[in-house]
Structure 1
Amino acid sequence: MKLIVLNLPRSLSEADMANLFKTFGEITAFNLVMDDETGSSKGFGFVEMKNGEEAEKAIEDLHGKKIEGRRIRVKTAH
């Protein structure tokens, strides 16, 4: 199941993003969208999880979580 993660802090790294989700289950792919000019995060990314139930649990637990003062949004990507 593919998820989109929005409103991430710009200072968040790909490793940080992976660490947020790996506790919920197996990640098959992830991508933190980066700004080519500045090299920093654009504040959103995608995570693909192998198991749909684990992805739903990640949405439930992480949606609205505050990271560095920002409430992230996690939902199914279409």
Structure 2
Amino acid sequence: MKLLVRNLSRSTTEQEIRLLFTAHGTVNECTLVLDQTTGKSKGFAFVVMPNESEANSALTALHETRVAKNRIRVKIAQ
């Protein structure tokens, strides 16, 4: 299942996101979206988790939690 993580702090790293989601299950892929010109985070990422129940658990647990002073939003990517 592919999840969209929004409202990330510009300083949050891909590794930090991966660690957050790994606590809830296996993460196949974690992609922090970067601005091509500046190389800085655009404030959102995609996380792919193969197990649907683990992905749902992560979504429920992490949606609206604070990461680096920002309240992140997690939903299923369309």
TM-score, length-scaled by structure 1: 0.95
Sequence identity percentage: 46
Counterpart in the other structure of 1:50: 50
Gaps of 5+ in 1: none
Deviations 1:26-62 (A, max 9, x none): 1111210011222211000100001000000001110
RMSD: 0.8
Runs of 4+ in 1 over 2 A off after TM superposition: none
TM-score, length-scaled by structure 2: 0.95
**TM-aligned CA deviation for residue 5 of structure 1:** 0.3
Count how many residue pairs are aligned between Structure 1 and Structure 2.
Answer: 78
Counterpart in the other structure of 1:72: 72
Mapped partners of 1:66, 1:15: distance in 2: 16
**TM-aligned CA deviation for residue 18 of structure 1:** 0.6
